Amino acid sequence: MAGAKKIEFVGIAILNRYWALQTPGMEIIDVHSDPSYFPRGIDLILKSPGRSSTVTADVKVDTYIGSDPTRKVRGLCNPDSGVLLVETLSQLQYDRHDNDVRGWFYTSEASEIHYYYLALLNSAEDLSPFFAEVRQLVSLGRSTTSVEERLIRELRVDRDLLLTYDLKQARAWFENAPEDALRGYAGATNPTYVTVSVRVDREEFCKRGPGRLVGPIFERVRRSVG
């Protein structure tokens, strides 16, 4: 598991249990490891009891929520940025003969984005045995539920915060977003291309945009797994 994939796995494990606690009887289908859903940008399918509507969620896990401005641990903890990232280009090509590729904000087929900020105080060494066990179980086609729950019990969370939004509403809002709600761009460099995301002010997005601030959820989940 690469660093980004590890924190994503942790975040999805927490969200699976949070939504089960939030809506008893909800059917939660975790498809984040199912290759058939990769191009659709769907990680979780949430089916509420007695309702015909189904929520499909694209989960984004962001470590930039840490309380210590000096603590920077790649893939685990970074200072609170105050923004959420909206990926508009997943591949801005270095070779301009190739076409750029639009980011998940435009290509995801999910109905909602579940943007989960999670800053951990654990070290990579603390968590490595859990990820090794997960890899082994996945290779054998076995459930990782018991490992996930042991992992959750071992997590030392500095801060966490869940923010959700309807993707179609966000796209419409973004077209005419107020200037003070946008804080420039963030780029991630790869060997042959650059990923580009717009930095959106979290407070403004929730106050004047479609963002729904759920709040911290980890402690409730941790107590549920004992």
| Domains held by the chain: number | 1
Asked, for residue 120, whether it belongs to a domain, the answer is yes
Residues 33-59 have a mean pLDDT of 91
Confidence of residue 95 (pLDDT cuts 50, 70, 90): low
Residues 154-167 have a mean pLDDT of 98
Q: Is the pLDDT of residue 2 over 70?
A: no
Listed residue (185, 208, 182, 207) closest to 87, CA to CA: 185
How far separated are the first and last CA of the chain, in Å rounded?
26
Output the pLDDT for position 96. Answer: 59
Alpha helices in 45-182 (DSSP H): 104-107, 124-139, 145-154, 167-175
* Sign of the alpha-carbon dihedral angle for 75, 171, 27, 40: negative
The count of other CB atoms within 10 Å of the CB of residue 35 is 7
**pLDDT tens-digit map of 125-135:** 999 999 999 99
**pLDDT tens-digit map of 56-82:** 999 999 999 999 999 999 999 999 999
Asked, for residue 146, whether it belongs to a domain, the answer is yes
For the chain, the average pLDDT equals 93
Asked, for residue 24, whether it belongs to a domain, the answer is yes
Residues 2-29 have a mean pLDDT of 90
Output the pLDDT for position 190. Answer: 75
Mean pLDDT check: name the lowest of 8-17, 90-99, 101-110. Answer: 90-99
- Domain extent at residue 10: 3-81+108-167+203-225
| Environment class of 112 (CB within 10 Å of its CB; exposed 0-12, middle 13-18, buried 19+) | buried
Asked, for residue 93, whether it belongs to a domain, the answer is no
The 8-class DSSP code of residue 224 comes to H
Asked, for residue 189, whether it belongs to a domain, the answer is no
3-class SS at 94? coil
Asked, for residue 196, whether it belongs to a domain, the answer is no
Output the pLDDT for position 50. Answer: 74
Asked, for residue 64, whether it belongs to a domain, the answer is yes
Asked, for residue 188, whether it belongs to a domain, the answer is no
